[in-house]
Structure 1
Amino acid sequence: MKVINQLNSHATQDGDGVNISRVAGFDGKFLDPFLMIDELKSDDHSDFMGGFPPHPHRGIETFTYIIKGGFEHQDQMGNKKAIRAGDVQWMSTGFGVIHSEMPLADAKEGMHGFQIWLNMPSAEKLRAPRYQDTTEHPAPAHKNADGVQLKALAGSWQFAEQSQVSSLQDLAANGMLADVSVPAGKQFTHPPLAQSKVMIYIHTGAINTAQGGPVMAGSLLILEPGSEIAFSSQTGAGVLILAGEPLKQPIAHMGPFVMTTQGELQQAVRDYQAGKFGAF
């Protein structure tokens, strides 16, 4: 596995004072087609109790994955779902969505989860929004003889001679995501993926690669296109694999809106203010 860049997450806040760690890529230089990786990881209820009250989006896909705790999602399309540990939620916002994500009352043991933003092709940014989650069709997982597990969060994966096909199959830019758990002293290997942008984010423990280590939690490794994925862990680790095909298009970003031009961005604000996203 050849790592061509390493980015580290930084502490910030979003929503109603929610403390998160973020890797942002709104300049399009490193993460394309992904825009942002937000990780919420805390056992202190005050870090996330404010949640994310109603807010709009246009032009992106939001991908939520919960490892511990949970949120209740609600949107103007009529979706209202409890997203709990192990669940995945995907929302292709298109023309416009207004939604909220508030912590569930039983999330007293803490919270660990992600919201990942994926850019949409310019020609699709104004299509109708779509929503899907895995509450009825859980993300499939397979564990090999060493106890190494791959959970297919989105897309179709082949691991340890087993196919893992997620019910989430239509992400923009051929996006795919998986969560890999590696016990202490074990190694994960996977053949090169078809997508030319492949990244791994360490969310638990630390890993070692052929280029060195340990690489600690909160680090994002960007791989050389066509590289196999191979790493080990002395202490045990949890890792997200993110893959997609770069869109190589301009990015105009302001808050919850991501468009291609400044004119489109200004139109998004006008449309939201005019109530064209619908009533929450």
Structure 2
Amino acid sequence: MSIRPVKREAAAQPTMEGAGVHLHRAFGFSDPREVDPFLLFDDFRNDIPDLYREGFPWHPHRGIETITYVLAGQVEHADSLGNRGVLGAGDVQWMTAGSGIMHQEMPRGDRQGRMHGFQLWANLPSRLKMTTPNYQDVPGTEIPVRTEDDGTVIRVVTGDWRGIRGPVDGIAADPRYLDISVPPNTARRIKVEVERKAFAYIFAGAGTFKGASDPFGVLLEKEYQGEELNIRDLSGDRTLVVFDRGDEVEIRSGPEGVRFLLVSGKPIREPVAWHGPIVMNTRAELEQAMKDLRNRRFIRESAKGI
């Protein structure tokens, strides 16, 4: 087994989307090869309703899939398939835009005004760019949870992990999307197949990811026996960690523990022509999509529902 070294760490950057939603973007609208098949990852978290209540009014998508995972508050949604609903804390929505879909997402805070969720965009291969749009809501109660002997808790949102299958299925990128909580001062290794690209996103507590050449990899085999990490070595809230190749990811949590998402997928390795929420393979396909949008032909007859 080989530990995946850290290729890059970066803080998610504040930005604004939709009708004025303040959020943090971990990656997106840059070189899509780094985390292929993933294109964008946003952390929409706020406890000030004025900074998110206008939401994401009707807008188009084509050529991608989106996975929305809500931790606090609610997201009311509707789309051109005729779907309408509300995502609550712990719920997941998977949407295949395919040939084209229009949808809106309107965040609503909990009783304290808190709103927190994530949205991940996954690319579609060329053979599925114009597939029929599809949609699935999954309640949080259906997401399997596994607690390890050391107290680590893992929610399997999508994909297979140690014989557990997440409820969201049929995503072309075949992602494995894990929500992992590691107790304080604990080391943990998590298997990630070498052919997959992988990233982690820390959103609570702090920890550090190390490669095979780093010193605490040796300590892991002997248990830590109370050794303390230097606080300066820790990565904390809203930190993106992109991994290089290897079989496993290794993390050690800080004194407050750490909670992070670990996402991996099989690269598509195809050219990307990208304009906002529309992602195709060639410039000509992208221009056709924009023409369809202008001419009100973006939604195919078979995909109309509203």
User: Normalising by structure 1, what TM-score?
Assistant: 0.92
Range moving further from structure 2, 82-91 or 229-238: 229-238
Q: Which amino acid aligns with 1:267?
A: Q
1:155 maps to which residue?
Answer: 159
2:56 maps to which residue?
Answer: 52
1:128 maps to which residue?
Answer: 132
1:219 maps to which residue?
Answer: 239
Percent identity between the two aligned chains: 35
Contact persistence 1:52–1:101 (CA under 8 A): yes
* Distance (Å, rounded) in 2 between the aligned partners of 1:120 and 1:200: 21
Superimposed CA distance per residue, residues 72-105 of structure 1 (whole angstroms, 9 cap, x where no aligned partner): 1111101111111111111010000101111236
* Distance (Å, rounded) in 1 between the aligned partners of 2:272 and 2:122: 12
Relative contact order (C-alpha < 8 Å, sep 6+): which is higher? Answer: 2
Select the structure that is richer in strand: 1
| Secondary structure at 2:285 match in 1 | helix
**Quick check: 1:251 aligned with 2:251?**
no
* Distance (Å, rounded) in 1 between the aligned partners of 2:194 and 2:29: 22
| Secondary structure at 2:292 match in 1 | helix
* Distance (Å, rounded) in 1 between the aligned partners of 2:30 and 2:109: 33
Superimposed CA distance per residue, residues 171-224 of structure 1 (whole angstroms, 9 cap, x where no aligned partner): 122222111012222233212325420111111121122357311222221222
Range moving further from structure 2, 72-81 or 4-13: 4-13
2:219 maps to which residue?
Answer: none
Superimposed CA distance per residue, residues 46-73 of structure 1 (whole angstroms, 9 cap, x where no aligned partner): 2211111111100011110011111011
User: Normalising by structure 2, what TM-score?
Assistant: 0.85
1:111 maps to which residue?
Answer: 115
| Secondary structure at 1:221 match in 2 | strand
**Quick check: 1:19 aligned with 2:42?**
no
* Distance (Å, rounded) in 2 between the aligned partners of 1:148 and 1:102: 33
* Distance (Å, rounded) in 2 between the aligned partners of 1:229 and 1:20: 27
Report the CA distance shift for 1:26/1:60 in structure 2 as closer, same or farther (over 3 A): farther
Shift of 1:106: 4.3
| Secondary structure at 1:185 match in 2 | coil
Structure 1 spans left out of the alignment, 5+ residues: none
| Secondary structure at 2:40 match in 1 | strand
2:296 maps to which residue?
Answer: 275
Greater C-alpha Rg: 2
Q: How many residues align?
A: 276
Q: Which amino acid aligns with 2:9?
A: Q
Structure 2 spans left out of the alignment, 5+ residues: 215-232
| Secondary structure at 2:118 match in 1 | strand
Report the CA distance shift for 1:107/1:264 in structure 2 as closer, same or farther (over 3 A): farther
Contact persistence 2:59–2:104 (CA under 8 A): yes
Q: Which amino acid aligns with 1:6?
A: E
Report the CA distance shift for 1:109/1:144 in structure 2 as closer, same or farther (over 3 A): farther
Match of 2:104 among 100, 103, 128: 100
| Secondary structure at 1:216 match in 2 | coil
Shift of 1:164: 2.2
Contact persistence 1:45–1:108 (CA under 8 A): no
Contact persistence 2:63–2:124 (CA under 8 A): yes
Shift of 1:274: 2.7
Alignment root-mean-square deviation, CA? 1.9
Contact persistence 1:174–1:195 (CA under 8 A): no
Contact persistence 2:66–2:120 (CA under 8 A): yes
